[in-house]
Amino acid sequence: MLHPDTPAKCCSYCGGRDHDFEECPKRKADAEKEEAARVAGSKPPLASAWDRR
């Protein structure tokens, strides 16, 4: 039973029906953004903890 109208996949992240949550391009982009921001962010948590002691 394959209906082109029936969404086999439903992204719970952006609501897209042409992909799954794990394949969400938006989620990936957001994750990359977050990681980039974290890397480019102020201080790495490990070095910060080291410096405090």
Q: What are the residues binding Zn ion (CB under 5 A)?
A: 11, 13-14, 16, 24
Distance CA 35, CA 12 (A): 21
Question: Shortest approach of Zn ion to residue 6 CB, angstroms?
Answer: 18
| Signed CA dihedral, 19, 20, 23, 24: sign only | positive
Distance CA 29, CA 2 (A): 31
Question: Shortest approach of Zn ion to residue 41 CB, angstroms?
Answer: 26
Question: Shortest approach of Zn ion to residue 19 CB, angstroms?
Answer: 6
Of residues 17 and 38, the one with the C-beta less far from Zn ion? 17
